[in-house]
A and B are shown apart, each in its own frame.
Chain A
């Protein structure tokens, strides 16, 4: 069956010396996959260096803990956002679902429910929103952008209905301790983020079910014709991200011992920026959890640096958004080079 050698130069896959070829191929693939992450680590090192020179207090354990604690819950959300982006969609409702769970857990506590009931209730609310988004997207056929935009508004609306604009506090100590406490010297929120990020990265790379998400994002029609149950996988992804938002929202309420109506506002922009900087494509089919985390870390470093250097908070938004634009531009330009 194999046709004779056409005399062409660089094109036959060599299987003489197969042992030699396998590590080379792996190294090439690893190199391709790591390019974005390596570039990010590089940027992070450069930024850290600059900030260390500018501010002596930058490179201290205390400051690092502040940075990581600050981005921990965003990291949990970003894990879900990476998967949604890989599937070719987007989720604008993350901040609102985060808030809804955070508010509901506080409200349920205020109503006198025991911890397990309050937390379960808040989780169920998050799962509901995720299911609702997924339903709109897969069964009704509304685009993810519009569907999650709608949920963003509806979930936030529910938040205001529940709170009537008031702050919810008066939470039991045991509950507060979860978000505020440390285990083995490391804040619990950081533990949560670490577990979710590491598990998320591993599963997205290796799990069979999540591998399907890449195919769906790459070419949804071809995925369907390849036997992938596109609707089921997409629904699962939107439920998963909502679950992560719910957990993060509950942790936030625990950490601040209170829940306020505007909590979580803007988290969708942070999550999307982080993931795109990390290599996820808005077109779908590409992205890693590790990249998303590194993107978030870079953004966190920069924000921390701005604060330490007394840069007005009004500049922060401009600078962070500018970084996003640069990241997307870099992404698009490098993509174009690859295309024949």
Chain B
């Protein structure tokens, strides 16, 4: 499809001019202007807090800009709310899933236009058929009647995408859509995005995974600190070039050096099983090592982690720490012993959204900040400030509700919370999901430093480059079983993937 060089009116699907948006304490967007052409996949990248999600929220009607104008196919629009934006033709898949978990797949996908029959009643037959089409299209493992809350995060994300593409929208915005998807699911998504491009619609694609940007996008716009740094044709730039625009400096090495030698085993897992979720899981974790846990979404890795952490009552088997059996019936006990779990789903399992940064950081061991029966506000504040500094958490102050922080900063708060307990063993479940290059590197450096200081780290990740780059050894799971363990030297994408898919 030939693209016009000039930005003539008829070629531009969506244009924003001079958008400004401020939140208390933060100028999120400053004078942002960009144009998205018809039939183009336009990537928007930027560091944590650069303003990408803010811009998308404005476009999709979640809140208005302070200043600036939006034009859709040449006509100025002011999206009053998400439903209005949807009807105008702008559809969005948010970074964090926004489905109604009490409803079914069908009810979620067609929330905007339920097929109706006579008298305005819902036409269940057509609803079922259309939903089934969407399910087949996205290879979702569910039926139209499956309650969304029963689906994994990855599957929910696919439902979210199906919902957004159910309309014949003019502009589809995908905000970090693949962070919860496997490579296979992501491939399906890319195929759908290309189809949209073919029929003349536009896709705005936000992602930290630059590999995807190069695979999928035509042009890329880089945001930094709420401003547009520049827009480039993807064909005329490379990863280093984009990263340089994003962070304003070089990132010379993507992953820190690995461990030179392995410490003694600190954790021994023996024959851990839980119903039909996982069977007979046995492995060792050594001091000073980062053990990566790879596998497709649904392989059971998070469940194994929860079991070790004591949050899966009913799991059978044995867990030994420093040779002694660990009671795995409650997180309270395992935390005391020095095991921490950084959850996969930070909003639902890691954060107290309505509470302050400080309250969140101290939440895993309040007794450490108490003088006798009473809390000591000075110690609380000191600890919170320590981690805000160490992790470079961007917040105007410690009292800020974490609800108001960007996704990456929220993740850093959760990391700080767990590091505050000075664990001997850290189970990190997707520690850099939905985080930009700069912060990812910070967290990777941090994990490696912790390991070098003796911490044992079990890192679950669905991002193959991260697993390969960070792990000293890789454990691969498939369908509830361990398929194999690879030392770093023997690990390659192919080796890991072939184990992960069960061959």
Question: Which residues of chain A are within 8 angstroms of B23 by Cβ–Cβ distance?
Answer: 340
Check B331 against A11 for contact (C-beta < 8 Å).
no
Complex: A8 Cα to B247 Cα, angstroms? 12
Partner of A2, one of B311, B389, B397, B404: B389
By a CB distance below 8 angstroms, the chain B residues around A29 are 399
Q: Count how many pairs of residues, one from A and one from B, have CB atoms less than 8 Å apart in the complex.
A: 129
A10 and B23 CA atoms in complex are apart in Å by: 10
Assess whether A222 is interfacial by the CB under 8 Å rule. yes
Tell me the residues in window 370-400 of chain B with beta carbons closer than 8 Å to chain A beta carbons. 370, 373-375, 381, 385, 388-392, 394-399
Complex Cα spacing A229 to B445, Å:
33
Residue of A whose beta carbon sits closest to that of B331? A227
Q: Decide: B404 and A10 in contact? CB cutoff 8 A.
A: no
Assess whether B34 is interfacial by the CB under 8 Å rule. no
Question: Can you name the residue of chain A whose Cβ is closest to the Cβ of B348?
Answer: A221
Nearest to B306 among chain A residues (CB) is A225
Instruction: Decide yes or no whether B478 CB sits under 8 A from chain A.
Output: no
**With an 8 A cutoff between CB atoms, is B211 at the interface?**
no
B351 A6 Cβ-Cβ under 8 A: no
Contacts of B313-357 to chain A: CB distance below 8 A: 330-332, 335-336, 341, 343, 348-355
Of the listed stretches B2-10, B104-112, B125-133, B360-368, chain A binds B360-368
Which parts of A2-31 form the interface with B (CB within 8 Å)? 2-4, 6-13, 15, 22, 25, 28-29
A213 to chain B, nearest CB (A): 11
Q: Are A208 and B398 in contact (CB under 8 A)?
A: no
Question: How many whole Å from B403's CB to the nearest CB in chain A?
Answer: 7
Question: How many residues from B make CB contacts under 8 Å with A?
Answer: 60
Q: Verify A11–B394 contact, CB threshold 8 A.
A: yes
Return the CB mask of B212-245 against A: 1 if under 8 Å, else 0. Answer: 0000000000001110000000000000000000
Instruction: Give chain B residues whose Cβ lies under 8 Å from the Cβ of A215.
Output: 352, 355, 359, 363
A219 and B351 contacting across the interface, CB-CB below 8 Å: yes
Assess the A227–B335 pair: CB atoms within 8 A.
yes
Q: Is B331 a contact partner of A13 (Cβ separation < 8 A)?
A: no
A11 vs chain B, min Cβ distance (A): 5
Does A228 make an interface contact (CB < 8 A)?
Answer: yes
Taking a contact as CB atoms under 8 Å apart, the answer to whether B26 and A10 are in contact is yes
Residue in B closest to A209 when the chains form the complex, CB atoms: B373
CB contact between B351 and one of A9, A11, A13, A222 (< 8 Å): that residue? A222
Q: In the complex, what distance in Å separates the CA atom of A285 from the CA atom of B363? A: 13
> For residue B352, which residues in chain A have a CB less than 8 angstroms away from its CB?
215, 218-219, 222-223, 285
Binding site for A on B (CB under 8 A): 23, 25-27, 47, 49, 63, 224-226, 248-249, 309, 311, 330-332, 335-336, 341, 343, 348-355, 359, 363-367, 370, 373-375, 381, 385, 388-392, 394-399, 401, 403-404, 417, 438, 442, 445-446
Most-contacted residue by chain A among B309, B352, B391, B403 (CB, 10 A): B352
Total residues of chain A contacting the partner, CB 8 A = 42
Q: Which residues of A contact B25 (CB under 8 A)?
A: 10-11
A-B contact pairs, 23 of them (CB 8 A): A3-B442, A8-B49, A8-B394, A10-B27, A11-B25, A13-B396, A15-B389, A25-B381, A25-B398, A208-B370, A214-B359, A215-B359, A215-B363, A219-B348, A219-B352, A222-B363, A224-B311, A225-B311, A225-B331, A225-B341, A225-B350, A227-B336, A286-B354
Q: How far is the CB of B162 from chain A (nearest CB, A)?
A: 27
Establish whether residues B355 and A208, one from each chain, have CB atoms under 8 Å apart when the complex forms.
Answer: no
Nearest CB of B to A20, in Å: 13
- Give Cα A215–Cα B362 distance, bound, in whole angstroms: 11
In the complex, which residues of chain B have a beta carbon less than 8 angstroms from the beta carbon of A225?
A: 309, 311, 331, 341, 343, 349-350
Q: In whole angstroms, how far apart are the Cα atoms of A211 and B380 in the complex?
A: 12
Determine the chain B residues whose CB is within 8 A of the CB of A8 once the complex forms.
26-27, 49, 225-226, 394
A236 to chain B, nearest CB (A): 14
Measured between beta carbons, the chain B residues less than 8 angstroms from A229 are 330, 332
Nearest CB of B to A5, in Å? 10
Contact between A4 and B249 (Cβ–Cβ < 8 Å)?
yes
When C-beta atoms are compared, the residue in chain B nearest to A284 turns out to be B354
The answer on a CB contact under 8 Å between B47 and A6 is yes
Q: Flag if A227 contacts B375 (CB, 8 Å).
A: no
Chain A positions 204-242 with a Cβ under 8 Å from a chain B Cβ: 206-209, 211-212, 214-215, 218-219, 221-229
CB distance from A232 to the nearest CB of B (A): 9
> In the complex where A10-B26, A13-B388, A340-B23 touch, is A212 in contact with B366 (Cβ < 8 A)?
yes
Q: Does A166 count as interface, using CB distance less than 8 angstroms?
A: no
Cβ of A32 < 8 Å from any Cβ of B?
A: yes
Question: Which residue on chain B has the smallest CB distance to residue A206?
Answer: B374
Q: Are A28 and B399 in contact, CB atoms less than 8 angstroms apart?
A: yes
Q: Using CB atoms, name the residue of chain A closest to B404.
A: A340
Report the separation of the CA atoms of residues A15 and B388 in the bound assembly, to the nearest whole angstrom.
11
Is there an interface contact between B364 and A1, defined as CB atoms closer than 8 Å?
Answer: no
Closest 9 interchain pairs by CB?
Answer: A218-B352, A227-B335, A208-B370, A227-B332, A206-B374, A226-B364, A8-B225, A29-B399, A3-B392
Instruction: Please give 5 more A-B residue pairs, beta carbons under 8 A apart, in addition to A11-B49, A218-B353, A221-B348.
Output: A1-B442, A6-B47, A8-B394, A206-B374, A222-B349
Residues of chain B within 8 A of A1, CB atoms compared: 390-392, 442, 445-446
**A339 interface neighbour in B248, B331, B403, Cβ under 8 Å:** B403
Least distance between A105 CB and chain B CB atoms (Å): 31
